[in-house]
Amino acid sequence: MKIWKNATVTMKVPGCMQCPNRVAKRYSKGQDRFGSYWICKAITKTYCIKGEESTYNPPVNDRALVNGFLEDCPLPEAEA
């Protein structure tokens, strides 16, 4: 379990699917068709394609989760 806090609220988060940093990202599936998937807005990763750097937020899915959280989750661990 980890802790999420801002100026007014401090709360325990049991996993990425309950985290306030999880937001929906919309993408195009073709002409007039869209889909969405969950991303973590607290983590930004950088990649390079043909010499150009770009950033993205990693998706929150079961394959990348470790004990309910992404491997590089920036939230601090909750004390027992």
Q: What is the pLDDT of residues 11-30, one digit of tens each?
A: 999 998 899 999 999 999 98
The predicted model gives 47-51 an average pLDDT of 90
- Hey, what are 38's tokens? 């969950």
The predicted model gives 45-60 an average pLDDT of 91
- Look at residue 17 and give its three-state secondary structure: helix
Backbone angles phi, psi at 73, to 5 degrees: -65, 130
The predicted model gives 66-70 an average pLDDT of 80
This prediction's pTM: 0.77
